[in-house]
Amino acid sequence: MYDIKNIRSLFPMLKNKKMQGKNLVFLDNASTTFKPQSVIDAVVNYYSNETSNSHRGDYDLCYNMDVKINDVRNNVANFVKCNPNEVVFTSGDTMSLNTIAYGYGLKFLKPGDEIILTEAEHASNMLPWFKVAKITGAKIVYIELDENLKITVENFKKVISKNTKIVSIAHIGNILGYINPIEEIAAICHSFGAILVLDGAQSVPHIETNFKKWDVDFLTFSGHKMCGPTGIGCLIGKYELLIKMDSFITGGGMNVTFDKNGHVEELLPPAKFEAGTLDLAGISGLNEAINLLTSIGMDEISKHDKELHDYAVKKLENNPNIIIYNKDTDTGILTFNVKGVFPQDEATLLNSKGIAVRSGQHCAKAFTKLCENNATVRMSTYLYTSIEDIDAFVDALINGGDILDAYFA
């Protein structure tokens, strides 16, 4: 039994918050998520009781911090099913992807090599590859999406070749929320000698992750999309690849020694990729976010997201004014337009009712096949979203009135 009432009671942002004078209904969870009190307390506790740097002192506070980082690394490893020394702490998904693009791509790509992406990728999984392709002379190739705008294994097989060196795709797309067939794609990648980079920004928070079983080479995600703090995320990489690739950001904490002639001996992974002071408060908070997700259960969370998505579809699909682009998605992302209404205008109308959704191109500006102007409204759920939230959203969409009510009501 999914105890939504108890879950909601853990989140201060769900307690009597108002927006535009109305009860806040937060349906922009693909963008970011609320934090439970346990995460907030962990962050505050670092600043109130545990403040110290890591790796840099001979006193107890610092030692305790090192122990804690180690514990959280183990917790992350258990959560995504990898070895602890394969967990690199970064500032988030974007930094993780840049670290792979510059640390691995820049080192190994040659002119004529190919990087496979899809047109539906988020900017964070496109722009770093554009830069690296430009520098190395590698070429970007796109998997053609099928008529339902999904990635299929068949279409993937059409573009992969012996020239393919890197395939980088989202596990769950941030616009339509489809779960991509990652295990099959990984196996095909490896049969061509390519590596698979999995952008897990939308998947790690919502579905069970199994880095080892899926046999992906790199996995990236952000803490803030899974009830954790902003500014912390992870790069998971197969250890032999982390050894092989270059560091990206360099500085203190990632080297064994260096001299004035420029000779640097780097630490082993993961420290090799963790230059500078880590976001220690963020790491403390991420730990509690993982504890919450684990205590609820990832399968329960995925089921909850899908139930809410399907419930919204059922309520809206017969309305002739609403165009839904992803009725059959297995996640909590619902993307739509209201006929004749500009998506930003619809989002403003929903804002006037206290409902937070995202409108626009959702950072996937190369994805032009969906609709006119490439812009939609996106509603996205999470573990604390209630049926009442969806009811309020559906009611506002159907009975919300004129878009100018937002300014004149």
Q: 371 an active-site residue?
A: no
CA 1 to chain centre: 27
E strand spans, 40-106: 87-90
The nearest distance, CB 76 to another protein, in angstroms, is: 32
Return the number of the residue (148 or 344) whose C-beta is nearest another protein: 344
User: Please, which residue, 98 or 376, has the CB nearer to another protein?
Assistant: 376
Cβ(135)–Cβ(106) under 8 Å? yes
Task: Please name which of 23, 24, 72 lies closest in space to residue 46, comparing C-alpha atoms.
Answer: 72
Annotated catalytic residue, options 82, 227, 234, 363: 363
Q: Which two tokens stand for residue 274?
A: 């963790």
What backbone phi and psi angles, to 5 degrees, belong to 268?
Answer: -75, 160
Taking the complex as a whole, the smallest distance from the CB of residue 30 to another protein amounts, in Å, to 16
Tell me whether residue 194 or residue 403 sits nearer to another protein (CB atom): 403
In the bound complex, what is the minimum distance in angstroms from residue 67's beta carbon to another protein? 42
Applying CB under 8 A, the residues found at the interface with another protein are 20, 342-345, 348, 351-352, 359-361, 373-375, 402-404, 406-408
| Residue 107 backbone zone (phi > 0: left; psi -120 to 50: alpha; other: beta) | alpha
Question: Cβ distance 234 to 78 under 8 Å?
Answer: no
Instruction: Select from 291, 270, 309, 251 the least CA-distant residue to 30.
Output: 309
Nearer Cβ to another protein (255/348): 348
Closest CA to 37 of 19, 70, 14: 14
Our CB check for another protein shows the closer of 256 and 404 to be 404
Identify whether the C-beta of residue 122 lies closer than 8 Å to the C-beta of residue 174.
yes
Least distance in Å: CB of 404 to another protein?
Answer: 5
Six-digit token string for 205: 């928070």
Closest contact distance (angstroms) between CB of 346 and another protein is 10
Q: How far is the CB of 119 from another protein (least distance, A)?
A: 18
CB contact at 8 A, 127 and 102: no
End-to-end alpha-carbon separation of the chain, Å? 41
Minimum CB distance to another protein smaller for 195 or for 403:
403
Place of tokens 């930094």: 95
Which residues form the catalytic set? 363
